[in-house]
Structure 1
Amino acid sequence: MKVRVRSGDSFWYYSQLFQIPLNLITDSNPDLNPANLQVGQEIQIPGYIDKFYSIKRGDTFWKLSAIGNMSVDALMLLNQNVNPNQLKAGENILLPVRVTSPIVNGKREYDYHVLQDDLNQLKKIYPFININSVGKSVLGLPIQEIRLGNGPKKVQMNASFHANEWITTSILMSYLNTYLLSLTNSSLIRGISTLPLYNSVELTLIPMVNPDGVNLVLNGPPGEFRESVIKMNNGSTDFNDWKANIRGIDLNNQYLAKWEIEKERKKPKAPSPRDYPGDAPLTEPEAIAMENLARSLPFDRMLAFHTQGKEFYWGYEGFEPPESKRLADEFERVSGYKAVCYIDSHAGYRDWFIQEFRRPGFTIELGKGVNPLPLSQFDEIYEDVLGIFLASLYM
């Protein structure tokens, strides 16, 4: 929601007027100097939208404020060209409306178009989040990064490395929405106050590493790749088993963590719906973007969301630091998921991250069953893993 500065207004006053933490207002207006606001400047108020209301006979600002549980001055701030003493029936004014329910509906087929729509809406309501592209997919789709928070601790989470694991994107986006609602409504999540987390943690999310692959699974093949992907898929137009990117490369087998072992033992020896590590490490733009991100913003910990198994992996070749065990114990406690230190797997993003930076990295295997997991598991997954999302920030 946008308002215009009046004489005597301040960020602190807006914080009191709308009951929004001051630093969220400051972060929503990074180009403005809070100590030198100018009359007429446009200010973004997070956690609110405005909506038109048609004045009815007998309405007053005082009556509307009482009905809507809002300040009279909030109405006057949004309607500076309206004389509150001379309201006319049929006249349109703006009402400030606090957002108290989620924008993200994760319980649906969640392709790149849905992701973009949700990101656009979230950015409008919560302008303190930053949305950037860290690279592009083979087909040129931006690989979107959401970043928020001001703390020294840096936590990275990512989802949909694998195309038919797209439910991980809707889960991660739902956690983001829950977090944003908690921040702007000063509400607790499982008894935890989130504003201290915002002030101590910089959180960065890549909700869809493999947008081309997700779109392929959910929407079918794009024109220019139609022939090649159907051929790789043994002539079938059912892409539910497809894990790779649009070129048939498994993005989570692309990293320099004993890549040559995976190359040797993986059955596919050419581009395939799943498991082909490529002709060399880091050939795919999506994998390169994720490596560049880790190098440009050294994370203190990283969580990669996959499916399925109701377990998570937290070690790699002894490179994991002692902190990883402490985090793994807490993740297991709050989720009921089984903590597994070592598995016989290499060349994954988590493997490389732990090896390269000697910092905690986790692969969280959501749910259980056959991929793509059905949306009927969404609520159970959300509740099980919400504790891991929170623990990764507060630990």
Structure 2
Amino acid sequence: MESIVNPKVIYTYQQMVKDLKKLNQVYPNLVTYDVIGKSVDNRNIYAVKLGFGETEIFLNGAHHAREWLTTSLLMNMIDYYSQAYEANNSIGGYDVKTLLNKATIWFVPMVNPDGVSLVQLGVNSAKRPDEVIAINNGNDFSTWKANIRGVDLNRQYPADWDSIQDNVGHPASMMYKGPTPLSEPESKTVYTFTLNHDFKLAVAYHSSGEEIFWKYKCKGELLETSKRIAEIFSEKTEYQLVDPGPNPSGGGYTDWFLTTLKRPAFTPEISPLVGPRPVPLKNYDKIWKDNKEVGLMLATEAYLHL
């Protein structure tokens, strides 16, 4: 089978939708997708189901607009794993067909389609361009992280939301937690989708630092389980494990997953630190080498041990 997804381009919302349709056409039972919500500007938020097993895990990307390379990575995974399933091939020692008959990997490749479109295509991608320019104090959207209303979607989840640090207090390109938890349709969509499933673990992909956040306020058996899987994750990717200390700032998706659902959740940062901008495409080959087995590794851990 030929690859459908090309991750080495500026990977837009429109391209993702086109690729999802093609993946479903080529692998009609293995890869299915649903619209699980709408963004502020009425773009579809898609969830993709890969596999047939009862054990479910969840990987999401692009909570932050400029971090759209995480969408490319997740779409690449879907394509690569599907090809291996159909060809009855192994990847890194994982028997893909056997595994995906026992476990299902769910993806939300692009949580923030409006923000991604703004970073990639500019202000004319927004329904209310004047409002976005006013929030941004100008027309350069290359550093934008928030959704189209200027809310940081990874500060929206109900995990110590009241005490989030460095909140700017008003709509901005980054660092504004919003007026209330889950005020934004994108974060509310991912929250509801999660509660409608029985995910054994979750991953929220972010894009700069080559590190893994894994520990947010967990203790006891959850701490031990999370640490064991985090160490395998770190060994696979060579990303450093981060200890957030005794009083980390909350509001993130995995903060909420860990503290509310009491199951392992990981936030990997996929590139060497590049500062407040999109990760350059030249970094992708290493990112792919580091992460191409991660979905299979986590599905195996979930099926065997969780």
TM-score under structure 1 length normalisation: 0.72
2:264 is aligned, of 360, 370, 373, to 360
Q: Note if contact 2:41-2:126 (Cα within 8 Å) is conserved in structure 1.
A: no
Q: Note if contact 1:335-1:387 (Cα within 8 Å) is conserved in structure 2.
A: no
The amino acid across from 2:128 in the alignment is F
Q: Deviations over 1:295-336 (max 9, x none)?
A: 100210001100111010111112544321111111111111
User: Are 1:375 and 2:273 an aligned pair?
Assistant: no
Q: Note if contact 2:71-2:109 (Cα within 8 Å) is conserved in structure 1.
A: yes
Q: Secondary structure at the match of 1:203?
A: strand
Q: How many residues align?
A: 293
Unaligned 5+ runs, structure 1: 1-99
1:142 is aligned, of 40, 44, 51, to 44
Deviation, 1:223, is 5.2
Distance 1:199 1:105 in 2: 26
User: Are 1:305 and 2:205 an aligned pair?
Assistant: yes
The residue that corresponds to 1:276 in the other structure is 176
Identity fraction in percent: 36
The amino acid across from 1:134 in the alignment is I
Q: Note if contact 2:212-2:241 (Cα within 8 Å) is conserved in structure 1.
A: yes
Greater Cα offset, 215-224 or 353-362: 215-224
Question: Structure 1 residues 223 and 112, CA, compared in 2 at 3 Å: closer, same or farther?
Answer: closer
The residue that corresponds to 1:178 in the other structure is 80
User: Are 1:226 and 2:129 an aligned pair?
Assistant: yes
Instruction: Please identify runs of 4+ aligned residues in structure 1 that moved more than 6 A.
Output: none
The residue that corresponds to 2:59 in the other structure is 157
The amino acid across from 1:375 in the alignment is L
Unaligned 5+ runs, structure 2: 302-306
Q: Deviations over 1:263-303 (max 9, x none)?
A: xx324111000010001111000010011011100210001
Deviation, 1:154, is 0.9
Q: How does 1:143-292 map to 2 (within 5 A)?
A: 143-221=45-123, 222=125, 224-235=127-138, 237-262=139-164, 265-292=165-192
Q: How does 1:329-344 map to 2 (within 5 A)?
A: 329-342=231-244, 344=248
Distance 1:311 1:106 in 2: 21
Distance 2:56 2:87 in 1: 24
Distance 1:374 1:317 in 2: 33
Distance 2:106 2:200 in 1: 11
The amino acid across from 1:393 in the alignment is A
User: Are 1:385 and 2:291 an aligned pair?
Assistant: yes
2:9 is aligned, of 105, 108, 129, to 108
Q: How does 1:12-161 map to 2 (within 5 A)?
A: 100-128=1-29, 129-161=31-63
Distance 1:163 1:347 in 2: 17
Q: Which has the larger radius of gyration?
A: 1
Q: Secondary structure at the match of 2:181?
A: coil
Q: Note if contact 1:321-1:358 (Cα within 8 Å) is conserved in structure 2.
A: no
User: Are 1:326 and 2:216 an aligned pair?
Assistant: no
The amino acid across from 1:204 in the alignment is W
Q: Secondary structure at the match of 1:140?
A: coil
Distance 1:374 1:314 in 2: 25
Pairwise CA RMSD of aligned residues?
1.3
Distance 1:345 1:207 in 2: 25
The residue that corresponds to 2:304 in the other structure is none
Q: Secondary structure at the match of 2:2?
A: coil
The amino acid across from 1:382 in the alignment is W
